[in-house]
Amino acid sequence: MEINGLPLHVLVVHAAVVLTPIAALAAIGYAVVPRWRDWLRWPVVVAVVVAVGTVWVAFLSGDDFRGDARFATASGEFADKLDKHEDLGGILRWVASGFGLVTLAAVALHTRTGVTRILLSVAVAALGLATVVLTIMTGDAGAQAVWGS
């Protein structure tokens, strides 16, 4: 799929690379700073839904883009870099999805305290951090494939 001659993947990855870490950091703040929870609850819901959506659109459009004829002859180091980027994108979509589901559960159980709150907060923080790291690694792998030497 293209928009004005540009592959959708090339356009949407920028949203995923910017919005996903912002959503994850906001969710981590929601999880670990109790006084911020009421204030961050709804912005976190919106940010997480949009961020996970952009990750999935980036993955699906990347899969479509990789099947394009311009990559049919990709070989050697370039093909290896594309494969690494594709593999990381596949992992990212599931980690980001898990992060999104756990974050939405934490918000849905907003008033819970005790063990439930602690477990949800730890899960949101851990998956949020993993999502940030994987987003950076995936974006870097894609940039290295396109712009690396």
Domain count for the chain: 1
Distance CA 36, CA 141 (A): 34
Q: Kindly give the residue spans of alpha helices, DSSP state H, lying in 33-75.
A: 37-66
Stronger pLDDT, 29 or 68, i.e. the higher one: 29
Over residues 96-135, the pLDDT tens digits come to 999 999 999 999 998 889 999 999 999 999 999 999 999 9
Residue 5 pLDDT exceeds 90: no
- Tell me the residue range of the domain where 134 lies: 2-147
Q: How confident is the model at residue 149 (pLDDT cuts 50, 70, 90)?
A: low
Q: Is 105 helix (H, G, I), strand (E, B) or coil?
A: helix
Distance CA 108, CA 95 (A): 20
Averaged pLDDT, 81-92 = 94
Provide the CATH number for the domain around residue 24: 1.20.120
- The pTM of this model reads 0.91
